[in-house]
Structure 1
């Protein structure tokens, strides 16, 4: 059984199911508004847990009713939460507008600062996954001992961290693959082996700084809600690499497993 450290957020997503697509100047009608646990760390951790890995979270929750309930849920799901820090304050949901076609729009509060992720004790593992901006220096030093690390490509200024693979969506790297590679190299350092770009139902692009490989995705699954699909792909991709798959075959397996998850949850 693999032991994976997941450094990333566990959010309270408030999902507004819109009746119509977003239109400039229009009025928004919604049919439901529900709060679910979400966040990049959460969805990736769930995928790894379902594939049989032991998953330890490094993150923070607020020490209020919502945060304590979330901590209990994580423990009941089987996550190792010893590195989850509780901070005084109020849990603030992340607002997500979900259109009928599955497109989502995330609303960020302008004064919301990114938390500093830190480990309360030394850790070890077979791999680590990061979806976080600001890392404590001690946490970065601990990561140097992990043999396989995957990081999401940060969209804002972030702490450099060692990483072997950097994952992003094609949409978030639309300034060109060469520029995206340079951004990935700046954040991951000399350990970087490959940039992985997902693109929804279109091919996954792998780039090692010289060569481009495109991997055909699994057949498209038509669902109304794809929130978490990219994070699920990351978890499946990491697990396949731990199994000894090449990056291309790992992307193929991850695409198939993500499609299976979408199919299961669409009902």
Structure 2
């Protein structure tokens, strides 16, 4: 397996389970509340590490208690946190309003500082897999340098085409479907559509009892990247990603740290 470099948000989540979303000016009582690790970058890094991969997390935390908790959580999950930078400011934090059908509404709290991080492009070697779990235009030079060094570089939209081998994201993330790279478009309960230069292929979602949709897209990306790292066909990667996503939505979690939700059948052995 190659080394994985995950670049993206690290966040501390406050999850509120509610009977419904309140209308403007109205009140809603949370049925349940919990604080927990999150952030799209940390989610993907943790899932890959729990599966047995060597994972380097690149992102930032603030010099606060939430940052210490997130660094500890990543390290406990086996993620290399040497490139998690401590910036002046607050660790990213979000409020999740989770409805009975598992759908969640996300509210960010602190200003985003991801554009200020330093990306260790020189540390990435040939054959490594890089995933930008969030994209900022200032990342372009580093992405190009890592691709030129022989790494397989992937990203959420819009990424940098043609540097990116794959773009992975939800339908809402794509303003246009690019023609010069492979776009892997998640569509929630409808499944996933893979757009290549020649054709488009659709994969239905796996049926699941959804209790919390948080992290489903991140679990899908992790499963897909795991299969890519094992040099499996893209079709198998999409199917594995769908299985990991289906398992993830059945638990109340932003990211599986202590108990990965997928079964041994869904998680290939390293």
The superposition leaves residues 13-40 of structure 1 with CA deviations (integer Å, 9 ceiling, x where unpaired) of: 1112112244455432212332211111
Distance in 1, matches of 2:201 and 2:92, equals 40
Residue number in structure 1 paired with 2:195: 207
Q: Quick one: which of 133, 136, 152 aligns to 2:135?
A: 133
Q: Which residue of 189, 212, 221 corresponds with 1:225? A: 212
Tell me the residue number matched to 2:266: none
**In the alignment, structure 1 residue 147 sits paired with structure 2 residue 151:** yes
Equivalent pairs counted in the alignment come to 250
Q: Which digits, 9 at most, give the CA deviation of each residue in 1:159-204, with x for residues without a partner?
A: 778210001112444xxxxx5224xx6xxxx6x2x10111122231
| 1:243 equivalent in structure 2 | 230
CA distance in 1, matches of 2:111, 2:90: 15
Q: Which residue of 1 aligns with 2:176?
A: 180
Q: Corresponding residue for 1:80?
A: 80
- The 1-side partners of 2:35 and 2:198 are apart by 43
* Residue from 240, 247, 261 that aligns with 1:260: 247
Q: CA deviation at 1:246?
A: 2.2
Give the deviation of 1:63 after TM superposition: 1.4
1:39 aligns with 2:35: no
TM-score by length of 2: 0.81
Q: Deviations over 1:193-219 (max 9, x none)?
A: x1011112223101114411112332x
Change (3 A) 1:71 1:114: closer
- Correspondences of 1:79-98 after superposition (within 5 Å): 79-98=79-98
Q: Does the 8 A contact of 2:90 with 2:110 survive in 1?
A: no
Report the CA distance between 1:47 and its aligned residue: 1.7
RMSD of Structure 2 on Structure 1 (CA): 2.7
Q: Is the 1:127–1:146 contact (alpha carbons within 8 Å) kept by the matching residues of 2?
A: no
The aligned counterpart of 1:176 is none
CA contact (8 A) 1:62 1:86 kept: yes
Is the deviation greater in 32-41 or in 52-61?
Answer: 32-41
How far apart are residue 261 of structure 1 and its match?
A: 3.7
Q: What is the 5 A alignment of 1:47-58? A: 47-58=47-58
State the secondary structure of the residue aligned to 2:122: coil
CA displacement at 1:107 relative to structure 2: 1.6
**Is there any run of 5+ residues in structure 1 with no aligned partner, and where?**
174-178
CA contact 1:128–1:148 (8 Å) conserved in 2: yes
Deviation at 1:10, TM superposition (A): 0.9
Aligned to 1:167: 168
- In structure 1, distance between residues paired with 2:124 and 2:208: 37
* Shift of residue 258, structure 1, vs aligned partner: 2.5
Distance 1:265 1:2, change over 3 A: farther
Normalised to the residue count of structure 1, the TM-score between the two structures is 0.82
Cα contact 1:116–1:136 (8 A) shared by 2:
no
1:34–1:215 distance in 2 versus 1, CA, 3 Å: same
